[in-house]
Amino acid sequence: MQDETDDRVAGATPPVEGVDRALRVLEVVAAAGPAGAALADLSAALGVHKTTVHRSLAALRHRDYVAQDPGTGRYALGAAALRLADRYLAEEDLPARLHGALVAVCAATDELVHLGVLSGVQVVYLDKVEPERAVRVWSAVGRRNWAATTALGRAMLAFAGTTRAALDGYVRAVEPAGRVALDQVATELDRARERGYAVEVQENEPGIACLAVPLLRGGRPAAALSITAPADRMDPRRMAALHAEVLRVLPPLLPDGLALPA
Mind listing the pLDDT tens digit for each residue in 200-242? 999 999 999 999 999 998 888 999 999 999 999 999 999 999 9
Amino acid 82: pLDDT: 66
| Mean pLDDT, the chain, whole residue set | 87
What percent of the chain is predicted at pLDDT more than 90?
A: 58
pTM recorded for the entire structure: 0.68
Question: Looking at 75-89, 104-118, 202-216, 247-261, which range is the least confident one?
Answer: 75-89
Residue 15's pLDDT band, with cuts at 50, 70 and 90, is low
pLDDT of residue 78: 83
Query: Which pLDDT score, from 0 to 100, does residue 88 have?
Result: 57
Q: Is the pLDDT of residue 166 over 60?
A: yes
Instruction: List CB contacts of 108: < 8 A, sequence separation 6 or more.
Output: 245, 248, 249
Res. 136 pLDDT band, cuts 50 70 90: low
Residue range 43-91, pLDDT digits in tens? 998 888 999 999 999 999 888 888 888 888 999 888 877 666 656 555 5
CA 231/CA 211 separation, integer angstroms: 11
For residues 114 and 128, give the distance between their C-alpha atoms in angstroms, rounded to a whole number.
4
